[in-house]
Amino acid sequence: MGLFKFLKEKIAKKNVKETETYVSGMTKSRENFANKLDELSRRYKEVNQEYFEQLEEILIEADVGVSLTLRIIEEVIEESKSEGIKEPTAINELVVDKMFIGYATKGGDITNEISFVNGGPTVLLVAGVNGVGKTTSIAKLAYRYINKGKKVMLCAADTFRAGAVEQLSIWAKRLNCPIVVGKPESDPASVAFEGARRAKEEGIDLLIVDTAGRLQNKTNLMNELAKISRVISKEIPNAPHEAFLVIDATTGQNGVLQAKQFLDCIKLTGIVITKMDGTSKGGIILAIRDELGIPVRFIGLGEKMEDLEEFDLDKYLYGLCLAK
């Protein structure tokens, strides 16, 4: 059984409500990708060089990424020749199989949920440029783990952006969870240190630290994030335990470039993709995984607090490629 058919069977066994969220949230991307694949396959009785050229264009337009697209096309052509596959629909199934394999086999083990440490707070750093939905994502993550019975504390260490502390404070009040803030224009590392100290004292399970999205240059950003990590580790050994980068799906390949900048500054353990419901280029998730080797941990598929979903590769590909 091919992965394409196997994927359909796996989806049929999964949570219907969560699958529907992916299907609904990825409507624009599916219309830009799956519909174009179907249209392309209807125009040809058998595949040829022209077919593969147009297939390549569809993948690139979906923001799958140039390097991954070329590799997928090359592998599909090679396999179709060796297996004697000429029917367009079968070729398209091969493409989906290669997309699945390309994500699943890139890098190490894929985990999504935060793994909590024993005997102390688990610390999560969150970074991202202005406008990507960083503050809202932090609130949604807090909401998620509060609902799982965890004691969550927020730490407003993004002291450089006007309004960042106020926005996070509003969310903390709505969520009824504690927040650590500093004085206006205070040193971010000092705020983070205070957050770590209070998290220990108050028996917090998860401390989420908001960090600056961008300073004047990469050197400043690197120094600031390194300093924050350093002072937290003095108070909580081996912290931070997780570091997420928030990326706006609608920015496409710019999101990959952003991730590369932050990857030079901090050891990222995961990506949070926001506004997936607002983009027609849902292949960006595959490009991020391929070019950076970092897994997408959570995906934003709507505006409600519940719409930040644990990333599921099966549901993602189903929503992008297969759902009708």
| Beta carbons of 188 and 230 less than 8 angstroms apart | no
Q: Are 180 and 155 in contact (CB under 8 A)?
A: yes
Q: Where are the domains of the chain?
A: 3-104, 122-312
Q: Kindly give the confidence (pLDDT) of every residue in the chain, 324 residues in length, as a single tens digit, with 9 standing for 90 and above.
A: 455 566 666 666 666 777 888 889 999 999 889 899 999 999 999 999 999 999 999 999 999 999 999 999 999 999 999 999 999 999 988 998 899 888 988 765 567 899 899 988 999 999 988 888 999 999 999 999 999 999 999 999 988 777 889 999 999 999 999 999 988 778 999 999 999 999 999 999 999 999 987 655 677 877 888 899 999 999 999 999 999 999 999 988 888 888 888 887 788 999 999 999 999 889 999 999 998 889 999 999 988 898 899 999 988 998 898 755
Rg of the chain taking only CA atoms, in angstroms: 21
For position 1, what pLDDT does the model report?
A: 41
DSSP3 helix / strand / coil % (the chain, rounded to 5): 55, 10, 35
pLDDT at 159: 85
Side chain identity at residue 275, one-letter code:
K
Query: DSSP 3-state assignment of 253?
Result: helix
Amino acid at 185: E
Q: Looking at the domain covering 122-312, what would its CATH class be?
A: alpha beta
Among residues 145, 32, 101, the alpha carbon closest in space to that of 314 is found at: 101
Q: What is the DSSP letter of 295?
A: P
**138 near 126, Cβ under 8 Å?**
yes
Q: What are phi and psi of 104, to 5 degrees?
A: -65, -30
Query: Does the domain at residues 3-104 carry the CATH identifier 1.20.120.140?
Result: yes
- Find where tokens 């019975």 sit: 149
- The rounded distance, in Å, linking the Cα atoms of 182 and 67 is 44
The pTM of the full predicted model, rounded to 2 decimals, is 0.92
Looking at residue 5, what is its pLDDT? 63
Provide the CA 254 distance to its chain's centre, in angstroms.
14
Q: 40: Cβ–Cβ under 8 A, 6 or more apart, which residues?
A: 51, 54, 55, 58, 88, 92
Q: Report CA 100 to chain centroid distance, whole Å.
A: 16
